[in-house]
Chains A and B, each alone.
Chain A
Amino acid sequence: MQMPTPDARVLSRKAEIVDRLRGVLPADAVIDDVAETRAYECDALTAYKCPPLAAVLPASTEEVAAVLKICHEMDVPVVPRGSGTSLAGGALPTADCVILGVSKLNEVLETDYDNRFIRVQTGRTNLSVTGAVEEQDFFYAPDPSSQLACAISGNIAMNSGGAHCLKYGVTTNNLLGVTMVMMDGTVVELGGAHLDAAGLDLLGVICGSEGQLGVVTEATLRILRKPEGARPVLMGFDANEVAGACVSDIIKAGVLPVAIEFMDRPCIRACEAFAKAGYPDCEALLIVEVEGSDEEIDHQLKLIMDIARRHNPVELREAKDADEAGRIWLGRKSAFGAMGQINDYMCLDGTIPVSELPRVLTRIGEMSKEYGLDVANVFHAGDGNMHPLILFDANKPGDLEKCEELGADILKLCVEVGGCLTGEHGVGIEKRDLMHVQYAPADLEAQMAVKDVFDPNWLLNSAKVFPLDASDARRALDVAAE
């Protein structure tokens, strides 16, 4: 993975930069000791590591603004960081950057049940947002599997999704407003407790911009009343095609499940060995969950099972109570853990049109043989967001590279069939150089034009998202400007 050459002038001025940052932050909020900065050297894409020049942990929007103003004046690159769970290397530092961590910004600022929103500082973890409104039976809908750790700031930057987004949408559909600090220290407010901010939908552009347009310090989020209950049904099929057709029929029938999860045979076997959930040994397995009162759930599950029966399932198991529901979810929820036990793995998240599922799964199977690396598939089938897990051995020389090559081929396939490189994890550095596969130069130019407007000197997290060859000239700007 290529990263830009660190700016020698920034490196040489480290002491002065740190001094100025100490002038606006408490002493313990500026970390420049080389050993201590290692705590920030990577995110969850652990194959790539680089300690930053320094890390700062501001505790207010004002402190964030003060930090950015200094970095702007001194031409220092900044990489914002939430909890560091990005799987795409979004929070990976460069050697010449200041990591701006928002972990101290974790307060709830306002909860309003009548108007159904919560305003929080963005360092707060996703799960603790729901935690703050649970006593009133409310919840914050987007629920990435990393929700115990990941921060709202990272969710906004990556436009994260979750298991329930088929019904509730992803972050962008649940975000009402933000307070954001621009690279030059200006504070802007976008949106609020009302719907659809005035003017251009800048909020919609901020969401998913991977920390490249500004540092988001506060967010107004939509909260919802919890459903009365939820229960899944499990179904097994002899062929991926059949499971795919069943998904499509369920969707067409007018039932709107909260989740439709898909596992293929390699994944079913690994999970079964690990969690002993009692899954059938078949080609494809679906878990479909619906919500409502007990009666409403019964009615919807019956409809779904009637559809499933038309596709001759090898197994059809309805959860009658919470206990049975728990057992159906057990295997699925341990999928990543199960894979981690067998091997090192890389998790992709390309998205495809649902109708292409069977073809893509077949092709992935062939590629897996060609490369000699096992691939297990577990994913959100309702919205076509695949999660192929490529198994490899990090200790075996060349295996990581081979795995990355296979990963790139799978993502190219996703684009080829009308899908995209990433459905919820973001581009980061991981998919940066594949952007050419999905976008023509004019498409990338239009996106980069947006960054030009928000961050004219390209100081914010600039080594990400855009292929380095496409962004070279812009990143050189600030150097040339002096």
Chain B
Amino acid sequence: MTPKTEDELSEIIKAARDPLQIRGGGTRGGAGTGALLETGGLSGISLYEPGALTLVAGAGTPLAEIDTALARENQRLAFEPLDHRTLLGSSGEPTLGGVAATNASGPRRIQVGAARDFMLGVRFVDGAGNIVKNGGRVMKNVTGYDLVKLMAGSWGQLGVMTEVSLKVLPVPEMIATLLINGLNETRAVAAMSRALGSPFEITGAAHAPRGVDGHPVTMLRIEGFETQITYRAGELKKLLAEFGDIAVETDQDRVAAGWAWVRDVALMKDKPGDVWRFSVKPSDGPKLAAALGAEDILLDWGGGLVWARMPEGTDARTKMGDIAGHGTLVRMSDGSRGRIPRLHPEPAPVAKLTDGLRARFDPRGLFNLAPVPA
């Protein structure tokens, strides 16, 4: 089923008797069981005002179309949504609705925020077929409850998004990566913390114990006018002198490729096992990495985002010990399917709220019953 309008979608949902599987571009694999409900018919940019940094588009709009329109005005989606195709080996075209429903965001999360922070408004159809709007197209809006946040990262469990409005940002004149070689995880996080605690507005801080050439590499990103890059790179070199030599990469293509490698977890592409994603306090990153004993590790968000490739069937959550945070099983091998929950279990009082919301927004239990890759 591929509804062309919100009303059609509402009719389909009202008439549904069995579970539905909501699909945008299908880049994250199947979203559950049941008849396919595709958002591709709800596509297209309906409003783009570069001077107001606002874009409104149908949920089924391919991300590539949005990127192209933005690039023409030298603007971008600053939250840098990751492209799951690299890690999952999936095909399809990522859509705006998919990005919104998974709250996808990349390395720049630490400075500018996640998809949820850039979503200004949504329209969606809930499980009873009601058409609902929340938020709008303006930057500041506290009129009523913020259901935009509720829909961001809800994995289609509360409704089918039909339209999303976004805040966009200008592309800076220049981007540079500072590279430090040879640090262990603990030292790398110490270096990243010091940089992130400086006034130089680091927009990416990642560490790979095994980088592209097999050796440890720590990456820091700065963005701005060329004069700013020169000044800030110089200051950061002084600030981080004790961590070793720092190389500054300013070739724009290589800089972009490096951060896409981090963003899309290319390190773990085409390798066997499960891929986990943990969000913890940055200084706990190295501790968790050690506890996991993973086959591959990638630290992003200054150490607070831990990507880990684990042997099939290992419940990595059991290794967290007393480290606070949560883990998601992003790429699940056959051996783990049905044995390890994809999403982090919630404490009872929180689960009660989540279940309550699902029961209200999807009273017949139609949507994405098991948000697990098929």
Pick from A100-108, A109-117, A235-243, A398-406 the stretch touching chain B: A109-117
B330 vs chain A, min Cβ distance (A): 13
Q: Which of B21-43 contact A (CB under 8 A)?
A: none
Q: Which of A190, A193, A227, A450 is in CB contact (< 8 Å) with B150?
A: A450
Q: A170 on the interface (CB 8 Å rule)? A: yes
Taken residue by residue from 131 to 142, chain A's Cβ proximity to chain B (1 for < 8 Å, 0 otherwise) reads as 000000110000
Contacts between chains A and B (CB distance < 8 A), count: 256
Taken residue by residue from 244 to 279, chain A's Cβ proximity to chain B (1 for < 8 Å, 0 otherwise) reads as 000111011110100000000000000000000000
User: B343 to A198, Cβ gap below 8 A?
Assistant: yes
Q: Which of B74, B193, B346 is in CB contact (< 8 Å) with A115?
A: B193
- Residue tally, chain A, CB below 8 Å to B: 95
Q: Which of B327-374 contact A (CB under 8 A)?
A: 328, 343-344, 346-347, 349-350, 353-354, 356-357, 360-361
Assuming A188-B349, A443-B133, A452-B360, is B231 touching A295 (CB within 8 A)?
yes
Smallest Cβ-Cβ distance to B132: which chain A residue:
A446
- B132 contact set on A, CB distance < 8 A: 442-443, 445-446
Q: A477 on the interface (CB 8 Å rule)? A: no
User: A201 to B144, Cβ gap below 8 A?
Assistant: no
Q: Which of A201, A227, A351, A452 is in CB contact (< 8 Å) with B149?
A: A201
Q: B310 on the interface (CB 8 Å rule)? A: no
Q: A461 on the interface (CB 8 Å rule)? A: no
Q: B16 on the interface (CB 8 Å rule)? A: no
Q: Which of B195-220 contact A (CB under 8 A)?
A: 196-199
User: A353 to B140, Cβ gap below 8 A?
Assistant: no
Smallest Cβ-Cβ distance to B305: which chain A residue:
A195
User: B138 to A256, Cβ gap below 8 A?
Assistant: no
- B196 contact set on A, CB distance < 8 A: 116
User: A201 to B153, Cβ gap below 8 A?
Assistant: yes
Taken residue by residue from 410 to 444, chain A's Cβ proximity to chain B (1 for < 8 Å, 0 otherwise) reads as 00000000111111111100010001001110111
User: A114 to B149, Cβ gap below 8 A?
Assistant: no
- B152 contact set on A, CB distance < 8 A: 201, 204
- A194 contact set on B, CB distance < 8 A: 279-281, 304, 324-326
Assuming A159-B142, A225-B197, is B353 touching A252 (CB within 8 A)?
no
Smallest Cβ-Cβ distance to A456: which chain B residue:
B356
- B199 contact set on A, CB distance < 8 A: 137, 225-228
User: A420 to B149, Cβ gap below 8 A?
Assistant: no
Q: How far is the CA of A247 from the CA of B193 in the complex (A)?
A: 35
Pick from B45-53, B90-98, B250-258 the stretch touching chain A: B45-53
User: A200 to B349, Cβ gap below 8 A?
Assistant: no
Taken residue by residue from 383 to 417, chain A's Cβ proximity to chain B (1 for < 8 Å, 0 otherwise) reads as 11100000000000000000000000000000000
- A152 contact set on B, CB distance < 8 A: none
A481 vs chain B, min Cβ distance (A): 18
User: A198 to B349, Cβ gap below 8 A?
Assistant: no
Pick from A11-19, A45-53, A205-213, A340-348 the stretch touching chain B: A205-213
User: A427 to B144, Cβ gap below 8 A?
Assistant: yes
Q: B134 on the interface (CB 8 Å rule)? A: yes
Q: Which of B114-147 contact A (CB under 8 A)?
A: 114, 116-117, 126, 130-134, 136-147
User: A192 to B324, Cβ gap below 8 A?
Assistant: yes
- A113 contact set on B, CB distance < 8 A: 197
Q: How far is the CA of A192 from the CA of B143 in the complex (A)?
A: 26
Q: A161 on the interface (CB 8 Å rule)? A: yes
User: B149 to A204, Cβ gap below 8 A?
Assistant: yes
User: A159 to B110, Cβ gap below 8 A?
Assistant: no
Q: A182 on the interface (CB 8 Å rule)? A: yes
User: A204 to B172, Cβ gap below 8 A?
Assistant: no
- A204 contact set on B, CB distance < 8 A: 116, 146, 148-150, 152
A190 vs chain B, min Cβ distance (A): 7
- A195 contact set on B, CB distance < 8 A: 109-110, 114, 279, 301, 304-305
Q: How far is the CA of A161 from the CA of B141 in the complex (A)?
A: 10
- B177 contact set on A, CB distance < 8 A: none
Assuming A435-B143, A445-B130, is B354 touching A199 (CB within 8 A)?
yes
A28 vs chain B, min Cβ distance (A): 31
Q: A36 on the interface (CB 8 Å rule)? A: no
Taken residue by residue from 155 to 179, chain A's Cβ proximity to chain B (1 for < 8 Å, 0 otherwise) reads as 0001101000110011011000000
Q: B170 on the interface (CB 8 Å rule)? A: yes
Q: A312 on the interface (CB 8 Å rule)? A: no
Taken residue by residue from 263 to 307, chain B's Cβ proximity to chain A (1 for < 8 Å, 0 otherwise) reads as 000000000000000011111000000000000000001001100
A240 vs chain B, min Cβ distance (A): 15
Q: A306 on the interface (CB 8 Å rule)? A: no
User: B143 to A421, Cβ gap below 8 A?
Assistant: yes
- B361 contact set on A, CB distance < 8 A: 446, 449
Q: A471 on the interface (CB 8 Å rule)? A: no
Q: Which of B51, B138, B140, B354 is in CB contact (< 8 Å) with A418?
A: B138
Q: How far is the CA of A225 from the CA of B200 in the complex (A)?
A: 9
User: A252 to B170, Cβ gap below 8 A?
Assistant: yes
User: B146 to A385, Cβ gap below 8 A?
Assistant: no
Q: How far is the CA of A227 from the CA of B346 in the complex (A)?
A: 38
Q: B113 on the interface (CB 8 Å rule)? A: yes
User: A453 to B225, Cβ gap below 8 A?
Assistant: no
Assuming A199-B346, A446-B132, is B142 touching A158 (CB within 8 A)?
yes
B202 vs chain A, min Cβ distance (A): 10
User: B136 to A208, Cβ gap below 8 A?
Assistant: no
Smallest Cβ-Cβ distance to A385: which chain B residue:
B140
A179 vs chain B, min Cβ distance (A): 11
- B318 contact set on A, CB distance < 8 A: none
User: A202 to B353, Cβ gap below 8 A?
Assistant: yes
Assuming A198-B343, A200-B150, is B51 touching A251 (CB within 8 A)?
yes
User: B225 to A300, Cβ gap below 8 A?
Assistant: yes
Smallest Cβ-Cβ distance to A209: which chain B residue:
B145
Q: Which of A161, A190, A226, A446 is in CB contact (< 8 Å) with B350?
A: A190
- A351 contact set on B, CB distance < 8 A: 138-141
- B2 contact set on A, CB distance < 8 A: none
Smallest Cβ-Cβ distance to A249: which chain B residue:
B51
Q: How far is the CA of A424 from the CA of B130 in the complex (A)?
A: 28
Assuming A254-B172, A385-B139, is B282 touching A207 (CB within 8 A)?
no
Q: A354 on the interface (CB 8 Å rule)? A: yes
Given A115-B304, A188-B350, A253-B170, 13 more pairs with CB closer than 8 A? A115-B282, A116-B197, A173-B113, A192-B324, A193-B324, A198-B346, A200-B353, A205-B149, A256-B170, A293-B231, A351-B139, A420-B141, A446-B130
Q: Taking beta carbons and an 8 Å cutoff, which residues of B are in contact with A?
A: 49-54, 73-74, 103, 105, 109-110, 113-114, 116-117, 126, 130-134, 136-150, 152-154, 157-158, 169-173, 190, 193, 196-199, 224-225, 227-228, 231, 279-283, 301, 304-305, 324-326, 328, 343-344, 346-347, 349-350, 353-354, 356-357, 360-361
10 interchain residue pairs of minimum CB distance: A204-B149, A248-B51, A198-B326, A423-B140, A383-B139, A453-B356, A254-B170, A198-B344, A193-B281, A354-B52
Cross-chain pairs A/B with CB under 8 angstroms, 12 sampled:
A161-B140, A170-B140, A172-B117, A198-B328, A200-B354, A228-B199, A252-B51, A256-B170, A296-B224, A355-B52, A383-B140, A446-B361
